Amino acid sequence: MLNSVYATGGIVTAPHHLAADAGRDVLRAGGNAVEAMIAMAAAIPVVYPHMNAIGGDSFWIVKPVGKDPVGIDACGAVAANATDDLYQGAGFGVIPARGPLAANTVAGTLSGWQAALGLAAELGGTKSREYLLEAAIHHAERGFPTTGNQSRTTADKLTELSGLPGYDESFLLDGMPPAEGDIFRQPRLAASLRKLASDGFESFYEGPLADAIAADLARAGSPVSAADLARHRALTLTPLKLQLSTGTVWNMPPPTQGLASLMILGLFDRLKISDADGFEHVHGLVECVKRAFIVRNAHVQDPAAMTAAPEDFLSDADLDVRAASIDPETALPWPVPAKDGDTIWMGAIDVAGNAVSFIQSIYWEFGAGVVLEDTGILWQNRGSSFSLRDGEVNRLAPGRRPFHTLNPALAALSDGKILSYGTMGGEGQPQTQAQVYSRHVNFGQTLQQAITAPRFLLGRTWGDTGTNLKLEARYDPALVARLKAAGHDTEVIAPYSDLMGHAGGVSMRPDGVMEGGADPRADGKAAAV
């Protein structure tokens, strides 16, 4: 993908083209950006099922035209029965990454859809749930051709996941990973989506569907109960905000790593770098990432357990000190512990200028690997990120919300443009956001150029365990050599690698012209009206 998509009637982007089409169709029918995103949020778990599910969490930033953004935190908490005794009694010294005991938090994303419906109505939305879920139900019932990404990921994780409750029946065809192009159907999930459309998104948490979900979870061996589901509520809140020389940027507060994403941009803004993709740009961003991740790892968790205010780390004084510590020629020794995560990000802007940045996840690819027997819902393993050791950040405790790599980004630029952008990729999310933002906003590249350009990744991300500085092979070898000489532990990887995440962005200028870009590393597109 080399060229941005331009339009004036509305624009969306998603990592799967069928999800993008679902959102575009809503905009074309007169729906607003929030309604379009609900349709996309429902479609993407169907057509990209290894990356997200309705059994996961999500976060939203919605910016109504002419107003400050509103955030939706749809993150589920640890089940009441998910205690130290549960894991010790099962013989675990750490929370397992897969299986029923990894499925230990409430899936919050449907509560986010419900909260978003309210915001859509405030913007004049009139589309019914049935209409918004129509594409998702269609693809789940009729099936869709399996992507190469899903096929490869299923094959890669076969040994790890095969035999877990409901997994083989749901994700294998005749006992084998589906090949690229094989028709993939999810009839039980389609039935659950139909119930959500008819009974309301809140029926995920209370009522007959919730009872069926709770029974499925108990049958599988998960500690999440009907009472846990009924207790859950999405939070509507004010996003974190940072003023840059290029405009105002917003991201989500803890338990997400949105603070780190904003810190990177704030630190980079102070370096006054003028050219894209040279040593100063790459080295500067990497060093900003290190400073932000040190803060993130030390402080970010459930806000109720935090002792420091995230806004303190976004103050001019704090950012000035940290930026001054960056050596323009030498790398700070690394690593520190990294964060995993597999996710999708999507963006939408409607003809009025309302903008949405949205992210939805099951933590690792295929989450806990547990698919509920009757309802066909894949459950996340977000709670496996908790520690069982006293004194640790993100210590397991019933009712506590987990640390989230998820962080949707949105900006109001100094030139009047609105920009919604983001990516999947766990540890890589703040880094990719910074690379896309700096290329597009600071250095004037088109959105598609900024997304397509070679990327770096410090630390690990989905499907990888290395902690070094990975650079796609399209970087100039002379740049790689200089980075190595500066003290960076570099590794050159294949071009257009999945390890670099699946980024996207949409924007709108004051004259109404919209621009969109999608990542060639994924299976999506930007679609416009």
**Active-site positions?**
343
Asked if residue 100 has a cis previous peptide bond (ω within 30° of 0), the answer is no
Tell me how far apart the terminal alpha carbons of the chain are, to the nearest angstrom.
19
398: left (phi over 0), alpha (psi -120 to 50) or beta: beta
**Residue 524 per-residue DSSP state:** -
Token pair of 63, please?
């910016």
Residue in this structure with the two tokens 């309604």, named with its chain if needed: 35
Q: Cα–Cα distance between 241 and 468 in angstroms, integer?
A: 30
Alpha helices in 272-315 (DSSP H): 279-299
Nearest-angstrom CA–CA distance, 243 and 406: 21
Helix pair angle (109-122, 33-47), 10° resolution: 160
Contact assessment for residue 500 and residue 457, using Cβ atoms and an 8 Å cutoff: yes
- Closest by CA to 157, choosing from 167, 144, 169, 145, is 167
Among all chains, which residue has been given the structure tokens 């976060």? 59
Strand bridging mode 378-379 / 370-371:
antiparallel
The string of DSSP letters for 239-254 reads PEEEEETTEEEEEPPT
Please state the length of the chain. Answer: 529
Q: How far apart are CA 184 and CA 428, in angstroms?
A: 29
Q: How many CB atoms lie within 10 A of CB 337?
A: 10
Quick one: how far is CA 12 from the chain centroid?
16
d(CA 399, CA 231): 10
Asked if 180 contacts 147 with a C-beta cutoff of 8 angstroms, the reply is yes
Task: Give CA separation, 335 vs 120, 162, 293, 328, 473, in Å.
Answer: 43, 33, 10, 19, 22
Going by C-beta distance under 8 Å and a sequence separation of 6 or more, which residues neighbour residue 89? none
